[in-house]
DNA sequence: GGCATGATTGTTGGA
DNA sequence: TCCAACAATCATGCC
Protein backbone atom coordinates (compact mmCIF):
# COMPACT_ATOMS: atom_id res chain seq x y z
CA UNK A 1 0.00 0.00 0.00
CA UNK A 2 2.25 2.78 1.18
CA UNK A 3 5.24 0.80 0.17
CA UNK A 4 4.50 1.42 -3.47
CA UNK A 5 5.17 5.10 -3.07
CA UNK A 6 8.46 6.30 -1.68
CA UNK A 7 9.76 2.82 -1.19
CA UNK A 8 10.78 2.34 -4.78
CA UNK A 9 12.31 5.76 -5.18
CA UNK A 10 14.12 6.06 -1.92
CA UNK A 11 15.03 2.42 -1.83
CA UNK A 12 16.53 2.69 -5.28
CA UNK A 13 18.53 5.70 -4.25
CA UNK A 14 19.67 4.04 -1.10
CA UNK A 15 20.89 0.96 -2.88
CA UNK A 16 22.83 3.14 -5.27
CA UNK A 17 24.22 5.31 -2.53
CA UNK A 18 24.92 2.59 -0.07
CA UNK A 19 24.58 -1.00 -1.24
CA UNK A 20 25.46 -2.61 2.04
CA UNK A 21 28.02 -1.10 4.29
CA UNK A 22 27.66 -3.47 7.16
CA UNK A 23 26.76 -7.08 6.99
CA UNK A 24 24.34 -6.68 9.85
CA UNK A 25 22.94 -3.54 8.39
CA UNK A 26 22.31 -5.25 5.13
CA UNK A 27 20.53 -8.07 6.85
CA UNK A 28 18.59 -5.70 8.99
CA UNK A 29 17.71 -3.77 5.92
CA UNK A 30 16.59 -6.81 4.06
CA UNK A 31 14.61 -8.04 7.01
CA UNK A 32 13.04 -4.67 7.45
CA UNK A 33 12.21 -4.45 3.81
CA UNK A 34 10.75 -7.91 3.50
CA UNK A 35 9.08 -8.00 6.84
CA UNK A 36 8.47 -4.32 7.11
CA UNK A 37 4.76 -4.88 6.83
CA UNK A 38 4.51 -7.47 9.54
CA UNK A 39 7.03 -5.62 11.62
CA UNK A 40 5.15 -2.39 11.46
CA UNK A 41 1.91 -4.17 12.06
CA UNK A 42 3.39 -5.90 15.05
CA UNK A 43 4.83 -2.68 16.31
CA UNK A 44 1.88 -0.42 15.92
CA UNK A 45 -0.90 -2.91 15.88
CA UNK A 46 -0.33 -6.08 17.80
CA UNK A 47 2.56 -5.21 20.02
CA UNK A 48 1.11 -1.87 20.93
CA UNK A 49 -2.19 -3.36 21.92
CA UNK A 50 -0.54 -6.41 23.38
CA UNK A 51 1.81 -4.73 25.83
CA UNK A 52 1.11 -1.03 25.93
CA UNK A 53 2.75 -0.84 29.32
CA UNK A 54 5.90 -2.58 28.21
CA UNK A 55 8.84 -0.22 28.57
CA UNK A 56 10.26 0.98 25.31
CA UNK A 57 13.80 0.19 24.38
CA UNK A 58 16.23 2.80 25.60
CA UNK A 59 17.72 5.16 23.08
CA UNK A 60 21.23 4.20 22.13
CA UNK A 61 24.05 6.74 22.05
CA UNK A 62 23.39 7.15 18.37
CA UNK A 63 19.73 7.95 18.97
CA UNK A 64 20.60 10.44 21.68
CA UNK A 65 22.94 12.06 19.20
CA UNK A 66 20.24 12.01 16.55
CA UNK A 67 17.86 13.91 18.79
CA UNK A 68 20.18 16.87 18.71
CA UNK A 69 21.38 16.28 15.21
CA UNK A 70 17.86 16.44 13.83
CA UNK A 71 17.37 19.90 15.26
CA UNK A 72 20.68 21.11 13.92
CA UNK A 73 20.13 19.49 10.57
CA UNK A 74 16.71 21.05 10.20
CA UNK A 75 18.11 24.46 10.98
CA UNK A 76 20.94 24.08 8.51
CA UNK A 77 18.81 22.32 5.94
CA UNK A 78 15.26 23.62 6.27
CA UNK A 79 14.51 22.55 2.73
CA UNK A 80 15.39 18.95 3.34
CA UNK A 81 12.29 16.99 4.18
CA UNK A 82 11.96 13.46 5.32
CA UNK A 83 13.69 11.49 7.99
CA UNK A 84 15.64 9.40 5.55
CA UNK A 85 17.96 12.25 4.62
CA UNK A 86 18.44 13.18 8.24
CA UNK A 87 19.14 9.59 9.14
CA UNK A 88 21.74 9.28 6.44
CA UNK A 89 23.43 12.53 7.36
CA UNK A 90 23.31 11.61 11.00
CA UNK A 91 24.86 8.25 10.34
CA UNK A 92 27.73 9.77 8.45
CA UNK A 93 28.24 12.43 11.07
CA UNK A 94 28.15 9.84 13.81
CA UNK A 95 30.88 7.87 12.14
CA UNK A 96 33.00 10.97 11.82
CA UNK A 97 32.73 11.71 15.51
CA UNK A 98 35.61 10.80 17.75
CA UNK A 99 35.20 8.73 20.88
CA UNK A 100 35.54 11.86 22.96
CA UNK A 101 32.73 13.52 21.05
CA UNK A 102 30.56 10.46 21.38
CA UNK A 103 31.26 10.22 25.10
CA UNK A 104 28.50 12.60 26.29
CA UNK A 105 25.93 10.82 24.15
CA UNK A 106 27.05 7.46 25.42
CA UNK A 107 26.78 8.76 28.96
CA UNK A 108 23.20 9.82 28.34
CA UNK A 109 22.45 6.51 26.72
CA UNK A 110 23.90 4.71 29.73
CA UNK A 111 21.60 6.68 32.00
CA UNK A 112 18.59 5.79 29.95
CA UNK A 113 19.71 2.23 29.91
CA UNK A 114 19.89 2.02 33.69
CA UNK A 115 16.47 3.57 33.92
CA UNK A 116 15.21 1.08 31.40
CA UNK A 117 16.59 -1.79 33.45
CA UNK A 118 14.73 -0.52 36.48
CA UNK A 119 11.50 -0.17 34.62
CA UNK A 120 11.95 -3.54 33.03
CA UNK A 121 12.56 -5.19 36.39
CA UNK A 122 9.40 -3.62 37.69
CA UNK A 123 7.57 -4.58 34.55
CA UNK A 124 8.69 -8.20 34.82
CA UNK A 125 7.64 -8.24 38.44
CA UNK A 126 4.20 -7.11 37.56
CA UNK A 127 3.97 -9.63 34.78
CA UNK A 128 4.77 -12.42 37.21
CA UNK A 129 2.38 -11.07 39.79
CA UNK A 130 -0.38 -10.80 37.26
CA UNK A 131 0.22 -14.30 35.99
CA UNK A 132 0.39 -15.68 39.50
CA UNK A 133 -2.69 -13.85 40.63
CA UNK A 134 -4.51 -14.92 37.56
CA UNK A 135 -3.92 -18.51 38.41
CA UNK A 136 -5.05 -18.15 41.97
CA UNK A 137 -7.65 -15.47 42.08
CA UNK A 138 -8.76 -13.70 38.99
CA UNK A 139 -11.12 -11.39 40.83
CA UNK A 140 -8.58 -10.38 43.39
CA UNK A 141 -5.90 -9.77 40.80
CA UNK A 142 -8.16 -7.26 39.14
CA UNK A 143 -8.04 -4.84 42.00
CA UNK A 144 -4.34 -5.41 42.45
CA UNK A 145 -3.73 -4.72 38.82
CA UNK A 146 -5.48 -1.44 39.13
CA UNK A 147 -3.16 -0.48 41.90
CA UNK A 148 -0.20 -1.60 39.92
CA UNK A 149 -1.32 0.49 37.04
CA UNK A 150 -1.31 3.50 39.25
CA UNK A 151 2.20 2.75 40.29
CA UNK A 152 3.23 2.37 36.72
CA UNK A 153 1.88 5.73 35.86
CA UNK A 154 3.88 7.23 38.63
CA UNK A 155 6.96 5.37 37.59
CA UNK A 156 6.51 6.52 34.05
CA UNK A 157 6.41 10.06 35.27
C1' DG B 1 -8.02 11.17 7.50
C1' DG B 2 -4.95 7.79 8.85
C1' DC B 3 -1.33 4.81 8.59
C1' DA B 4 2.89 2.78 6.43
C1' DT B 5 7.40 3.90 4.64
C1' DG B 6 11.79 5.81 4.02
C1' DA B 7 17.31 5.90 6.67
C1' DT B 8 20.41 5.68 10.26
C1' DT B 9 23.11 2.94 14.27
C1' DG B 10 22.99 0.79 18.60
C1' DT B 11 21.06 -2.06 21.95
C1' DT B 12 18.31 -5.49 23.65
C1' DG B 13 16.17 -9.87 23.87
C1' DG B 14 15.27 -14.25 22.20
C1' DA B 15 16.56 -18.62 20.07
C1' DT C 1 26.75 -16.46 19.96
C1' DC C 2 24.16 -14.73 16.39
C1' DC C 3 20.27 -12.59 14.39
C1' DA C 4 16.02 -10.13 14.28
C1' DA C 5 13.37 -6.59 16.08
C1' DC C 6 12.85 -2.10 17.76
C1' DA C 7 14.00 2.52 19.47
C1' DA C 8 12.92 8.41 17.32
C1' DT C 9 11.66 11.37 13.77
C1' DC C 10 8.26 13.40 10.19
C1' DA C 11 7.19 14.55 5.35
C1' DT C 12 5.04 12.04 1.90
C1' DG C 13 1.92 9.27 -0.56
C1' DC C 14 -1.55 5.95 -1.09
C1' DC C 15 -6.16 4.05 0.00
Angle, vertex CA A93, rays to CA A91 and CA A97, nearest 5: 115
pLDDT tens for the 157 residues of chain A, in order: 433 333 333 333 333 333 333 333 333 333 333 333 333 333 333 333 356 678 888 899 999 999 888 888 888 888 887 888 888 889 988 989 898 989 989 998 998 899 888 888 888 877 777 666 665 544 444 444 444 444 444 443 4
Rounded CA–C1' distance between A33 and B8, in angstroms: 15
Q: Residues 111-130 of A near strand B (Cβ < 7 Å)?
A: 113, 116-117, 120
Q: Which nucleotides of C are covered by protein (CB under 7 A)?
A: 3-15
Enter the pTM of the model.
0.66
The nucleotide closest to A28 (CA, C1' atoms):
C4
Inter-residue contact A146 to A76 (CB < 8 Å): no
Q: Report the C-alpha gap between A157 and A112 in whole angstroms.
A: 14
> For residue A1, which nucleotide's C1' is closest to its Cα?
C14
Amino acid sequence: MKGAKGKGTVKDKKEVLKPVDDKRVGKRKAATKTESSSKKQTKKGKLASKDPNKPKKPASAFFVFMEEFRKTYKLENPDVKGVAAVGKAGGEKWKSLSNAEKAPYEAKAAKRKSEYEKVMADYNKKQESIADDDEEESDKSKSEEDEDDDDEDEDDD
